[in-house]
Structure 1
């Protein structure tokens, strides 16, 4: 049989059409066969090596098509606008999980949490049979054991947990069965037997973690684990005393339920849920345990960062006796080596090309260095293009940039000076206008308050006329008020209207009287 020629023209046409390499080689798309398979990956690599130009173009298309295929994965769910119950997957109703990026409907999640569906009798019977058969909770609820798929799951974990909370007797049954299973598992660990994975394998080149070769056979020699059933079992008086002694030793709830205390492995006593449940049912125990737990939490928080706090030298060997201590925006108290800090400040490094081009454009536009380095202006924070230390270190490292800055500094100073003087003149003019606007009220307070309002306004008007004519200065107003009042009275008498000017005959003589000036007339007016 001869060598099959590589169909490079058809292969390139499929790549240009957007097919991934796997789709071309297998002839499948979405697990459906759409065309006959073409060649193998080895033949493709060999042809690319023999034809570098064709291979470079083909591999570039392979990378682009693979990226597009990865983006198309999950497009149906990703583009879904409503859940299966019709709730919109938008805004506050949409929950996007962290790593998996799964989209959840918050309304449906709240409904399921408020009214979870109880398990059926058939499911409980199947769970009981599986537990009696020696299956674990992982095999029952997830269908997995040791991270591998072992079969179909029987019931969800939340359903089983709900049923165990509602039925304490069944919960005790599950704990006892798990405890027996864990004891048998521990005995198998203490008496190792030939590994089934090794016995069924024909190749000995692959060894899994935790299996060690002894002679001609592999034996499981992993250390025995703590029985899980004893941890999940309800707390009795002996275990409560054990918890109190652990709390007096300084262990937190994580040290009791997580098996870790001050970086070392310790025996697990109970779970977090069991501890909270026992505290709620036994107030006397809670009155002793919870204060100790709070005290241990405070001590554990103080121990956080102890390796760094007790460090005497930095990683470069400089002493931290005179370290630079500062508080970060997040509230952490931090120590920085002064020698290293000064070395970072004095380190001359050129700017990246993009920042260098932006700095040059700003200098050519007449922007001051304070604006480039983001200094505050009139109480407002400006954008930082380059910080001050980085800018001056870049000038040290790049003589061309330094000469460019020096060439533009005189023009920038001239423009900045013009801007400052413009602001100063505007502020001065505004202050003068405000002062002139306030002159009326200032002068009106100097006129005697016993005079009528219209006469006081006439006197103030006369003072303003004198100020505008230049016959009166501002500092003379207070001393010459009486002069302007007397001048107004003389002008009123000359026109025969009296000291207080023209008065209506219908006006009352006194404020609290109804008698008018007309009632006091005794002879004819004509």
Structure 2
């Protein structure tokens, strides 16, 4: 019962081991004749000894073949000679081709690919047509795609290469949309939601960029004012007000800064205007902090009396 549950490849491996148990080194005479017959029929040593999936089960292991060659050097020389001829047969026939198998000229659509150390010519037009048509989607993959779309997953998460959530290529997804109306409806809903999110993100970025430019303008204008100027924010505010109303253009700010400073000094002369070496004092200023008497109350005569 336990043996019946073993995978087929384990059973085949066990049978192969039992076949050669107790056998002398090398190959039996009848197996060597069969090996040589296959070589003369067009096979190669690699095909008969590798056991690769593309070549089918091996006739004998390479180690036994090598040991047989040591025991029978003449047979080995003949086997290697035939195998080399068979292996070289057909090599280079693709080099003289001028068109792919679908008739597209290599002179226009050729593309060189490196595959397993070899240079292979590919046809760009065939690749384009295959991509345009799209690959077929297996039913089980289609079920997973539908479930992910219903969950609200983005299309890029299903088709972008390198992502762990990738289920299929984008061209295959496009073909699935064309052939399956239900998938197309779900994809359209996902795209509409993505477009709304993209618009919100776009306007947020635009708003942030405007705010960033305004902040940069603020510090730029402050840098244009004299270092010792105390009321920089008042002048910056006046400049911003004219910028918003259109009375001042952005490119004229640097040339007009001095005029704004002069206008501010004229508006508040008691802070900046001087009479001799002393600053001017306002007659409306209170003499004492805890009193209501002003300097104007004590004036007994005019300046030119």
- State the TM-score, normalized to the length of structure 2: 0.51
* Partner residue of 2:202 out of 416, 424, 432: 424
- 1:48-88 CA distance string (max 9 Å, x none): xxxxxxxxxxx4x4344x57xx8xxxxxxxxxxxxxxxxxx
Return the offset for 1:387: 1.7
SS in 2 for 1:431: helix
SS in 2 for 1:307: coil
Alignment of 1:333-344 (within 5 A): 333-337=119-123, 341=127, 344=130
Could you tell me how far apart the structure 2 residues matched to 1:365 and 1:477 are? 54
The higher-RCO structure (CA 8 Å, 6+ apart) is 2
Closer/same/farther in 2, CA of residues 473 and 318 from structure 1, 3 Å limit: closer
| Structure 2 stretches lacking a partner, 5+ long | 11-23, 35-71, 280-305
RMSD: 5.0
Contact persistence 2:239–2:260 (CA under 8 A):
no
Of Structure 1 and Structure 2, the greater helix share is in: 2
Return the offset for 1:431: 0.6
In the other structure, the counterpart of 2:189 is: 411
In the other structure, the counterpart of 2:237 is: 464
Contact persistence 1:314–1:320 (CA under 8 A):
yes
Residue 454 in 1 paired to residue 236 in 2? no
Alignment of 1:62-73 (within 5 A): 62-64=3-5
Could you tell me how far apart the structure 2 residues matched to 1:446 and 1:466 are? 12
Could you tell me how far apart the structure 2 residues matched to 1:361 and 1:337 are? 36
In the other structure, the counterpart of 2:113 is: 328
* Partner residue of 1:433 out of 211, 224, 228: 211
Alignment of 1:276-355 (within 5 A): 307=92, 309-312=94-97, 318=103, 321-322=106-107, 324-328=109-113, 333-337=119-123, 341=127, 344-345=130-131, 350-355=136-141
| Structure 1 stretches lacking a partner, 5+ long | 1-58, 71-144, 149-196, 198-205, 212-221, 227-258, 265-302, 504-526
Closer/same/farther in 2, CA of residues 328 and 461 from structure 1, 3 Å limit: farther
SS in 1 for 2:97: coil
Closer/same/farther in 2, CA of residues 410 and 473 from structure 1, 3 Å limit: farther
In the other structure, the counterpart of 1:136 is: none
Could you tell me how far apart the structure 1 residues matched to 2:196 and 2:125 are? 42
Contact persistence 2:145–2:158 (CA under 8 A):
yes
Residue 389 in 1 paired to residue 212 in 2? no
SS in 2 for 1:328: strand
Contact persistence 1:325–1:333 (CA under 8 A):
no
Contact persistence 1:373–1:388 (CA under 8 A):
yes
Closer/same/farther in 2, CA of residues 306 and 498 from structure 1, 3 Å limit: farther
Could you tell me how far apart the structure 2 residues matched to 1:416 and 1:468 are? 39
- State the TM-score, normalized to the length of structure 1: 0.32
Contact persistence 2:99–2:105 (CA under 8 A):
yes
Could you tell me how far apart the structure 2 residues matched to 1:350 and 1:491 are? 79
Closer/same/farther in 2, CA of residues 354 and 467 from structure 1, 3 Å limit: same
Could you tell me how far apart the structure 2 residues matched to 1:421 and 1:364 are? 22
Closer/same/farther in 2, CA of residues 309 and 461 from structure 1, 3 Å limit: farther
Residue 477 in 1 paired to residue 253 in 2? yes
Count the aligned residue pairs. 218
